[in-house]
Amino acid sequence: MKTKIIEVNNLTKEYKELKAVDGLSFDVYEKEILGLLGPNGSGKSTTINCILSLLKYSEGNIKIFGKEMRPDAYDIKRDIGVIFQEVAVFDELTVYDNIDYFCGLYIRNKKQRREHIEDAIKLVGIEDYKKFYPKQLSGGLLRRLNIACGIAHKPKLIFLDEPTVAVDPQSRNNILEGIKKLCESGATIVYTTHYMEEVEQICDRIVIIDKGKIIAEGTSDSLKELASIEEKISVEIDKIDDETLTKIKDLLTVSDAEYQNGVLTVSYKSGNDNIAEMIDFLRSNNLKYNKIYSERPTLNDVFLELTGKELRD
């Protein structure tokens, strides 16, 4: 049986009339990457801040490494690393000094610290920028520095709160690869984001949050089973009339069809090879198309089905 690293029970956080977090309960297990997925304002960051004892909460209890988390729980804090959504570095210090400062809050031995800093710099790929000041770095490099500052002391538990916001694709891939490596080296990771592709790519388990409540929890595949569709076919087509659209909707396995911005999207209740049937239909109705492709349901479809809105709304 896997060891519980974090236990959150009935966590509730209220801001006057608003319940930002509403009776949240979940566990995080050793050496897993748990994704907290939800749209902006769903309560992900508030949950993290409550777990870290930065915020007061109205109800609930939180245990980390089996001990109650409090502001003065220094023995717990020693093994935690946090990468916040906003970049948390000093503009006055160089890249190296920033990492050294934050790492030094955990590790006193200078030799050991130097080794850890070099490892962190290598992991996020900023070896060429050690003497740069944060203002001289691009957005992506700044995010990488932010991560290096949070993980240089090699924590056992790492919180990453939307670390890839406003990051270029190259840096995003670098960050996601780095997170996987951290997990492989034994760290437990809590990863919050509103990018479903990222959680699908790196998370072992996913907790979907909306309006401060957990609406679904499980692996990526188990969550997708919650969606009522099995396959989604998209057709790039210049024009389609309402009569044809109705005909498509009347097909036996089709659950829904819509035409928007030159793309016909057809959702199927069952089967995973409906593309041949769709091509036959288009030929028989003399409809010329530019591109046709098939997709499995995404977490966004799950979210849409559970909440009636898109993840990025």
Partner 1 sequence: MFFHNFKYSLLLLLKNKSLVFWTLAFPIIMAMLFNMAFSDLESEDKFDVIDIAVVNSTDFDNNTIFKKSLESLSEGDDKLFNISYVGADRARTMLEDREITAYLVFHSDDVKVTVNSNGIEESIVCYVVEEIKSDCAVIMDVGTQYITSEIAKGNYDIDYEQYFTNTANDLLNHSVNIKDDSSSKLSYSMIEYYSLIAMTCLYSGLLSMTLINYRLANISSVGKRSTISPVRKGGMILGSLAASFVVQLFGLLILYLFMLFFIKVDFGTNLPFIIALSVMGVLAGLTFGVACAVLLKLNENAKLTALIAATMVGSFLSGMMGITMKNIVDKNVPVLNWINPVAMITDGLYSLYYYETPDRFYFDVISLAIFSAVMILISIRGLRRQKHDSI
Give 193's strand partners.
37
Nearer to partner 1, 56 or 283 (CB): 56
Provide, rounded to whole angstroms, the least separation between the CB of residue 90 and partner 1: 6
Provide, rounded to whole angstroms, the least separation between the CB of residue 104 and partner 1: 4
**Residue 287 · residue 248 · CB < 8 Å:** no
Nearer to partner 1, 45 or 193 (CB): 45
Judged by the rule CB under 8 A, the positions of this chain that interact with partner 1 are 15, 49, 52-56, 70-72, 74-75, 77-78, 80, 82, 84, 86-90, 92-93, 97, 101-102, 104-106, 108, 149-150
Residue position matching structure tokens 């829904």:
256
Indicate the pairing of strand 18-29 with strand 188-193: unpaired
Provide, rounded to whole angstroms, the least separation between the CB of residue 133 and partner 1: 9
Provide, rounded to whole angstroms, the least separation between the CB of residue 84 and partner 1: 6
Nearer to partner 1, 36 or 142 (CB): 142
Burial class for 179, CB neighbours closer than 10 Å (0-12, 13-18, 19+): buried
Distance of CA 198 to the CA centre of its chain: 5
Q: What angle do CA 68, 73, 76 make, to 5 degrees?
A: 80
Nearer to partner 1, 101 or 289 (CB): 101
Other C-beta atoms lying within 10 Å of the C-beta of residue 222: 12
Largest CA distance in the chain: 75
Provide, rounded to whole angstroms, the least separation between the CB of residue 92 and partner 1: 4
Nearer to partner 1, 12 or 255 (CB): 12
C-alpha dihedral (19, 21, 24, 27), degrees to nearest 10? -170
Provide, rounded to whole angstroms, the least separation between the CB of residue 143 and partner 1: 13
Of 5, 1, 168, give the one whose Cα is nearest residue 76. Answer: 5
Provide, rounded to whole angstroms, the least separation between the CB of residue 116 and partner 1: 14
Q: Provide φ and ψ at 167, rounded to 5°.
A: -120, 140
308: alpha, beta or left? (left if phi > 0; alpha if psi -120 to 50):
left
Residue position matching structure tokens 């920028």:
129
Nearer to partner 1, 85 or 253 (CB): 85
Nearer to partner 1, 151 or 182 (CB): 151
